[in-house]
């Protein structure tokens, strides 16, 4: 058994002066390569994360491989006093521009997500409505080269409120006040309890 402190086992990551973003980074550090102050287009994002998942299948021996696929996510988070629907549209446009240069479409590419998170002081009804029903998926060469998707999340941590587009699972890292998923599918016991009036 090692005498090294447990903190030595944690991945090396940048630290943020913003305590909220630093706490979010602590949740993301095991899955994402994190950077501070990333520029994308004309925008600067306080937190950037890159996730890469590759899968390969092999037959009998490692040299006989097939079904190589890759999934990427680019996470951009910024803090704003407020955010409007028009600004969210600018992030969607930026996602499409980045896809033109960052996505390498070929038969091994399965999916790339561009997720934009805005940490705001407030969450208006207009923004909530826009983000909750939002989904923007683009097939590459009729899906043969996979697809890319633009996702939106808006978080108001002081109000303990958030809204996320349909495919933006990363909201969980930004909702520091909860460890449960309010939209989770009921488990087996919950379904059985519902059947028997419990």
Q: Is 2 exposed, middle or buried (0-12, 13-18, 19+ CB in 10 A)?
A: exposed
Q: Which two tokens stand for residue 20?
A: 């909220």
Q: Is the pLDDT of residue 13 over 90?
A: no
Q: What is the pLDDT of residue 197?
A: 55
Q: What is the pLDDT of residue 145?
A: 85
5 located within any domain: no
What is 19-46 written as a DSSP string? Answer: HHHHHHHHHHTTTSEEEEEEEETTEEEE
Q: What is the pLDDT of residue 2?
A: 46
- pLDDT tens readout for residues 33-92: 999 999 998 899 999 999 988 876 767 766 666 666 788 999 999 999 999 999 999 999
145 located within any domain: yes
**Nearest CA-CA partner of 108 in 135, 155, 146:** 146
DSSP-derived letter for residue 195 is H
Q: What is the pTM of this model?
A: 0.81
For residue 87, the enclosing domain spans 11-195
Q: What is the pLDDT of residue 131?
A: 96
Residue in the structure block whose two tokens are 């909702």: 175
- Count of the separate structural domains present in the chain: 1
184 located within any domain: yes
User: What average pLDDT does the structure give for the chain?
Assistant: 85
The whole-number average pLDDT for the span 109-128 is: 93
**Nearest CA-CA partner of 160 in 180, 134, 178:** 178
DSSP alpha helices (H): ranges in the chain?
A: 19-28, 85-102, 125-132, 171-174, 188-195
Q: Is 49 exposed, middle or buried (0-12, 13-18, 19+ CB in 10 A)?
A: buried
2 located within any domain: no
Residue in the structure block whose two tokens are 């490692």: 62
1 located within any domain: no
- pLDDT tens readout for residues 92-101: 999 999 999 9
6 located within any domain: no
State the pLDDT confidence band at 160, using cuts at 50, 70 and 90: very high
The whole-number average pLDDT for the span 177-196 is: 58
138 located within any domain: yes
72 located within any domain: yes
């Amino acid at each position: 058994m090692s005498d090294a402190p447990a903190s030595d086992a944690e991945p090396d990551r940048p630290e943020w002066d913003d305590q909220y973003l630093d706490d979010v980074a602590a949740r993301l550090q095991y899955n994402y390569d994190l950077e501070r102050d990333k520029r994308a287009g004309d925008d600067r994002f306080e937190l950037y994360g890159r996730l890469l998942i590759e899968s390969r299948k092999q037959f009998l021996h490692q040299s006989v491989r097939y079904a190589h696929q890759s999934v990427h996510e680019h996470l951009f988070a910024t803090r704003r006093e407020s955010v409007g629907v028009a600004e969210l549209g600018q992030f969607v446009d930026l996602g499409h521009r980045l896809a033109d240069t960052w996505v390498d479409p070929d038969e091994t590419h399965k999916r790339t997500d561009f997720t934009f998170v805005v940490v705001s002081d407030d969450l208006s009804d207009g923004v909530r409505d826009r983000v909750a029903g939002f989904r923007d998926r683009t097939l590459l060469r009729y899906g043969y080269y996979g697809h890319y998707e633009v996702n939106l999340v808006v978080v108001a941590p002081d109000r303990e409120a958030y809204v996320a587009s349909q495919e933006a699972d990363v909201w969980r890292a930004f909702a520091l006040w909860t460890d449960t998923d309010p939209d989770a599918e009921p488990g087996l016991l919950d379904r059985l309890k519902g059947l028997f009036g419990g």
